[in-house]
Amino acid sequence: MERSENETKSYKTYKRRYFILILLSMCLYLSCFQVIQYTSIGDVVKKYYHVTYFDVSWTATLSCLSEIIFFYPIAKFIEFKGIRTSMLVATFFLTFGGCLKLIACQRNLFWLLLVGQILGAVWFKSDEAALVVGLTNSLFESGGVTSFILPVIFDNSNIEETSEKFFYISIVIVVSYGTFFFLTLFYVVDKPPSPPSEAENKRTTNGRQSLKTLFKNKNFLLLTITFALIFGSSQSFTITLNQAVLKQFSNNHIVLSIAGILAAGSGIPGSLIAPTIMKKFPNYRALEIIYTFCYALSFLLYLLSLWTQSEWLLYVSVVGYGLSMNALFVLTLDFIVEVSFPFTESIVYSFSFMGQSLVALVEAPVVTLLTNNWGATNANFIYLGIAVVCLLLSLFVSNDMRR
């Protein structure tokens, strides 16, 4: 019996993909650092600019506005223009924003996240896509780790020292993004000479799909809602961590730095281990339920740590949070691709990230205000409630693997 064309056709990957992956990951590293650099030292910014915690929270949540408004146009731009042009535009505006020393440079993070998903599809095999998400997310979390070193660096700094430290941080960011821009200009190309997998080949030949088909997909809707709730809450949690910890632990910046570093740092192994588990145990539905349960449990422990003012319980809870949340990030994104194939990653993920931004935009200011009025422990019950809702939603998802 002769083999079919799909069975005999071989697919090739290219070493250039690793350079593009490293370059994109470094952009994400700096982007994550910029997104939460001011909220990680919210008390310093509050004092320096004579503002409130509510005002400081907007330095991170303002980036959500552009994601909500421009999510679909940006996705279509990336789909039609490709990786190279998209990365050039993103790094140019990030560099320009840094030169102007405006927080608006953080709003371009969405471009890089979507470019990351296209990179995984166009340059990597299907079974490597989760690994790409894991690697980029681990570098993203590394940026979070770096941002939570800032409370120690800025501790006991006067106004002049604070201003000087802000200046030097901006210089490093501008030079780094300028370097990334020129590396993209000279070394990044849109696509390899041939598709890396049968899945990408089919997507290319199938042409465009109607969005009505996508929104009739029950699994896509459930997973997108779950993603939006979990990772919108995660973004909000990172923003409000400074206020909650300093309020419950007597303005202890050491405890804050350790908690922030553990929360972001544990996300690195969480992101890297998840693809391996998914490859060996491809029952995505079961993994989604397990990871979401662990995510909810970590927030229960976090609430107990705030209530009892227990440092060791705080550290345990944020490690559990970082591991489970980032494993969920990798799993849910790959799951969304599976159930929505052959739609492109830039399109299907844009809806997920838009939902995430909408949740974070509402939730972070609400938790900040509730912490001021009702206390940190009561305010953070919102995170536990959302985790429980997501656990219930995951029970209704089926293993519809299409890729």
CATH number, domain 15-189, options 3.30.70.120, 1.20.1250.20, 2.40.33.10, 3.90.1150.10: 1.20.1250.20
pLDDT of residue 137: 60
Q: CA dist 221 to 38, 335, 337, Å? A: 34, 12, 12
- In terms of residues, how long is the chain? 403
Average pLDDT, the chain: 76
- Check if the beta carbon of residue 349 is closer than 8 Å to that of residue 132: no
Packing angle, helices 42-49 and 218-248, rounded to 10: 70
Task: Give the chain's radius of gyration (CA, Å).
Answer: 21
**Which residues, given as ranges, of the chain have pLDDT below 50?**
1-9, 11-12, 102-130, 193-205
CB 139 within 8 A of CB 272: no
pLDDT at 385: 96
Secondary structure (DSSP) of 74-108: HHHHHHHHHHHHHHHHHHHHHHHHHHTT-GGGGGG
User: Which tokens in the block code for residue 127?
Assistant: 């079974």
Comparing C-alpha atoms, which of 25, 45, 48 is closest to residue 36? 45
pTM for this predicted structure: 0.71
Class of CATH domain 212-402 = mainly alpha
Q: What is the pLDDT at residue 224?
A: 94
In this prediction, residue 125 carries a pLDDT of 39
CA dist 128 and 276 (Å) reads 10
Q: Give the H or E element holding residue 329.
A: helix 311-340
Give the position of tokens 């459930």. 222
The 10 Å CB-count burial string (b at 16+, else e) for 235-248 is: bbbbbbbbbbbbbb
Closest CA to 136 of 17, 299, 261: 17
Q: Name residues whose C-beta falls within 8 Å of residue 90's C-beta, 6 or more positions apart in sequence.
A: 27, 108, 111, 112, 115
- Domain locations in the chain? 15-189, 212-402
Give tens-digit pLDDT for 32-56: 777 777 777 777 777 777 777 777 7
Q: What is the pLDDT of residues 313-323, one digit of tens each?
A: 999 999 999 99
d(CA 268, CA 141): 6
* Angstrom distance (rounded) from CA 137 to CA 52: 31
Contact criterion met (CB below 8 Å) for 235 and 365: no
pLDDT value at position 136? 62
pLDDT confidence of residue 260 = 86
CATH topology agreement for domains 15-189 and 212-402: yes
Q: What pLDDT is stored for residue 301 in this prediction?
A: 97
